[in-house]
A and B are shown apart, each in its own frame.
Chain A
């Protein structure tokens, strides 16, 4: 027994000779919760993140003001009738196999992949107003739209990677649905090219020497498959990971790590409590306003988000600076006014404290998903605020996929739910708030707002657009279609050895990796 113990200790000591944290050269490592497919036509966060560095888009977003700037495109113009866009591509862009990128790749990607009904593309709704693409010459491409579509450049930067025609052009639709061979060694134009993929373990990408903005300063980016958050934290502390996204309650843990700093990164998003206007009592604007006034959103921001974010005033994030306005109804915490509004709406309090109208109690279910502490706490707190004004709220928690698929069902079976949106950096909310919008899960319908959103999409003068969207924000805020809570910052735990990281949410920071470096 003693021998075994001694032998074991000796063995441990042998193993404990310092294990290398990373290989030679500067490597940047970040976690994925699952294997990534590296195929831009389908979603899933692991896939989206890896694609940001392997592939390029026509435009990306400026870290200063989130406006579209060139990526593969150098500049673009729009015709007099606002139906034809001309994109001038950068010269000297090469695919990772050395072949030059040309306008034909753009035409192929848009027409044969994005708009091809035989191939699934998860962002098709963003680009379906494109009617066709014409190659003018190797470095010029014309994109024609069915209707004037002012949002096009922003949408071309949003999960819209360009793929190589010279590799995929001969694929049948069946092969394009499952391009197994291509995915074994994908070819893009991004700053890092495919190195190796070990399923369940990691994907290693290496610097592409001929990247069009120059060779990246890092030698490699490693995406490690680490599903467990505690394991991610351990790897962050031991230096195997250089970045992870944390929740507010993990901030103290990370603050104790000497090798890690916390970055509150801006991200175009908003957190909200959704209301289903097609279900009673949410069709009544007074009820919705009362529900908004009854919730102390400042307390939620301070205590649940630890102040990391801003109070939300509507569906447009302040990062979209040219369009954002806070000169709208803001619904500061005012339970007394909330009670008055409910009285006016005919919901009066009975002896049991529950409000009733025509004998019907004011009762509904608030749905949320299991596992995200911020949303769990939000649900519990909101329910209490609503109970305080005589609304009988029940909570229902479900697993994330089940919860999402309920919301996506039409008609929406839910009454109220806690969720968030990450949107393109645009004021164009047509999909979400237009009465006919494909993503309008609230069942919100306001003809005036419909008109403004249509007009905003067809207006090309930025000042004029700003006026339109400010008006839309005022109308939406007055309607209180949903309870706008917070514009949360993305809390990034970043290794101090990393230099030049762009302070944006990591979905976008990853499109600006060329200048990032790491001290050994």
Chain B
């Protein structure tokens, strides 16, 4: 177990190095430089000076080694755009993204599991077809379009919910206020997953319903509801847990499109802006943090499997 952990952590460190190297090579070679160097009134000498001050006049490998040296000392550098340490910015943005992603996940499971079970209980019935059709829509609808439609309906036409942002500015912050701002983006972000989870729930529940012990349960005279929820669903959930586990990294990486559409201050919209502005330290920092979280969560999932399923051995 310990040996396994050490090996996995070692692999993770190598992976992070490779990822950061690839991303660094990509962003620094992308046409156009940092926006901070492109002001229309800046003459060549001001630009050259600014480049030198940011260390951009150095050869690329020197720049990378410098960045790496900083990272090893726990410093991700300062954002070109905001003038604030990258680590601090990520520290402020990551919780916002987690709130949004968690809300979307809970929402999608709350809808998907009942829908999937209902589908499985009466396969090929009208209800099942309706759920399937809805799921197909959910998977296919472009995020930005769905977001805009919901904004038009709930913010502009009905005036029920704010169109974007995370809080009412200047008002005392409250949970209710946060929830109001959270509803629309969470629905949009949860929609695709909702559809996905509903399909998985349906198929895994169907598979379980064909098992012998379900027949036994029915033979004992249990109600159909008890059979479904107490026996079938509990075992079907194992599959769903796996699928949700696979979605975990996306919780952290955020949802660039949803966050942008709703002006949600999270990692996704931050990454999009950083890419536009070629804010190298910001892009590198976001990449590093997200890769680390992805690696950590996949390790966690693997370890959990061993805990849940005694057949799995770590050697």
> Which A positions have Cβ atoms within 8 angstroms of B?
1, 4, 12, 15-16, 18-20, 22-25, 27, 29, 33-39, 42-44, 117, 120-126, 159, 177-180, 183-184, 198-202, 204, 220, 222, 224-228, 230-231, 234-235, 237-238, 240, 398-406, 408, 410, 421-422, 431, 438-439
Q: Is the CB of B169 within 8 A of A23?
A: yes
* Of B46-54, B192-200, B245-253, the one with at least 4 CB within 8 A of chain A: B46-54
Chain B residue at smallest Cβ distance from A42: B36
B151 touches which one: A234, A400, A431 (CB < 8 A)? A234
Given A117-B49, A226-B263, A401-B276: A19 touches B162 (CB 8 Å cut-off): yes
Q: Is B148 engaged at the interface, CB distance under 8 Å to the other chain?
A: yes
CB of A199 within 8 A of CB of B265, answer: yes
Number of A-B contacts defined by CB within 8 Å: 214
In the complex, are the beta carbons of B114 and A1 less than 8 A apart? yes
**Contact status B50-A200, CB under 8 Å:** no
* Docked-complex contact B81 and A37, CB < 8 angstroms: yes
Cβ of B164: which chain A residues have Cβ within 8 Å of it?
Answer: 226, 231, 234-235, 240
Residues of A near B160 (CB, < 8 A) are 12, 15-16
Across the interface, which residues of A come within 8 angstroms of B167, CB to CB?
198, 201
The 10 tightest CB contacts between A and B, nearest first, are A23-B170, A200-B265, A401-B32, A438-B43, A402-B32, A43-B39, A16-B160, A402-B31, A234-B163, A37-B83
Given A22-B169, A200-B93, A125 contacting B38 (CB threshold 8 A): no
- Determine how close the nearest CB of chain B comes to the CB of A422; give it in whole angstroms: 7
B188 interfacial contact with A, CB 8 Å:
no
Of B7-15, B17-25, B173-181, B228-236, the segment with at least 4 beta carbons within 8 Å of chain A is: B173-181
Distance in angstroms from B310 CB to nearest chain A CB is 36
| CB<8 Å pairs between A and B, sample of 16 | A4-B111, A15-B176, A15-B179, A125-B46, A177-B53, A184-B84, A199-B93, A201-B169, A226-B165, A231-B164, A238-B156, A398-B31, A400-B32, A403-B32, A405-B38, A408-B38
Minimal Cβ-Cβ distance residue in B for A12: B160
Determine whether the beta carbon of B83 is less than 8 Å from that of A178: yes
B92 touches A199 (CB 8 A): yes
Task: Give Cα distance in the complex from A36 to B35, angstroms.
Answer: 13
The answer, among B44, B85, B165, B176, for a CB contact under 8 Å with A180, is B85
In the assembled complex, the CB of A45 is this many whole angstroms from the nearest CB of chain B, namely 9
Asked whether, in the complex, the Cβ of B183 is within 8 Å of the Cβ of A15, the reply is yes
Contacts of B179 in A (CB 8 A): 15
In-complex Cβ contact of B41 among A19, A25, A199, A439 (8 A): A439
Task: Give the number of chain B interface residues (Cβ < 8 Å).
Answer: 74
B42 at the A interface (CB under 8 A): yes
Which of these binds chain A: B203-211, B267-275, B289-297? Answer: B267-275
Chain B contacts for A225, CB-based, 8 A: 263, 265
A408 to B32, CA, bound (A): 10
- Contact A180-B83, Cβ < 8 Å, known A20-B171, A225-B263: yes
CB interface residues, B 137-167, toward A, < 8 Å? 148, 151-152, 155-156, 158-167
A120 nearest in chain B by CB position: B50
Report the Cα distance A238→B263, complex, angstroms: 15
Contact A18 B265 (CB under 8 A): no
Shortest A200–chain B CB gap in Å is 3
